[in-house]
Structure 1
Amino acid sequence: MSKLTEDVKKNTALFVSDSHKSETVWGLCNDQGQWLSLDSSEFEDSEVMPFWSQAEDAQCHCVDEWASFVPTKLSLEEFLEDWLTTLAADEVLVGLNWNNELDGEELEPKAVLDLYL
């Protein structure tokens, strides 16, 4: 059962604590190797790529227009050292632990990195 709530700040804190413990994060990728990114709901003309700290929380979003995607694991080290650098260079925001209603924080990659310091 998901530990995510309506409190997006708590969900972000949960992302950091869970991913730190498991040393993994989860994104959504399709069979063509395309990772899910979408238009930001918070920032005009911005893209956001969502990530979750638990595979089950990522899996619940693999329906409807995202049905072709599956939860795909990344090591925390790869996420922090490679992905956040690339996302920053591409000016893509990072969505953390979006709940079932797709509510969650959208942060600059540097801000996500700072959460681990």
Structure 2
Amino acid sequence: MTKLTADVQKNADLFFTESKETQVVYGLCNEEGDWLSVDSSEFEESEVMPFWSNEADATYHCVEEWAEFQATALPLDVFAQDWMVTLAEDGVLVGLNWNDRLEGVEMEPQDVAKQYL
């Protein structure tokens, strides 16, 4: 059962706590190797790539328009060091532990990376 709630800040805090414990995060990737990114609901003309701190919560979202995707693990060091640099260069925000209503914190990649220093 999910630990995610309507409190998006608690969900973001859980993202950092769980990912530090497990040393892994999950994004959604399709068979072609394309990672899911969507338009930001918070920032106009911005893109956001969602990530979750556990596989079950990521997999929950692989339905309907996202059915072609599957939860895909990323080692935390690769996520925090490599991916955050690339996403920052591309101007893509990071979505953290979106709940069942696709609500969640959207952060700048460099601010996400700082949480792991």
Which band: TM-score by shorter chain?
over 0.9
Match of 1:26 in 2: 26
Give how far 1:111 is off.
Answer: 1.1
Deviation sequence 1:56-76 (CA, Å, 0-9, x none): 000010000000000000000
Match of 2:73 in 1: 73
| Paired amino acid for 2:108 | E
Aligned length: 117
TM-score with structure 2 setting the length = 0.98
Distance 1:66 1:4 in 2: 19
TM-score with structure 1 setting the length = 0.98
| Paired amino acid for 1:9 | Q
Give how far 1:115 is off.
Answer: 2.1
Distance 1:105 1:115 in 2: 14
Deviation sequence 1:89-111 (CA, Å, 0-9, x none): 00000000000000000000011
Q: SS in structure 2 opposite 1:27? A: strand
Match of 2:38 in 1: 38
Match of 2:8 in 1: 8
| Paired amino acid for 1:113 | A
Map 1:83-102 onto structure 2 (within 5 A). Answer: 83-102=83-102
Give how far 1:113 is off.
Answer: 1.4
Q: SS in structure 1 opposite 2:95? A: strand
Match of 2:114 in 1: 114
Give how far 1:114 is off.
Answer: 1.9
Q: SS in structure 1 opposite 2:80? A: helix
| Paired amino acid for 1:8 | V
Q: Which runs of 5+ in 1 are unaligned?
A: none
Does 2:59 correspond to 1:59?
yes
Distance 1:11 1:34 in 2: 25
Distance 1:104 1:4 in 2: 10
Give how far 1:116 is off.
Answer: 2.4
Distance 1:102 1:115 in 2: 22
Distance 1:115 1:91 in 2: 19
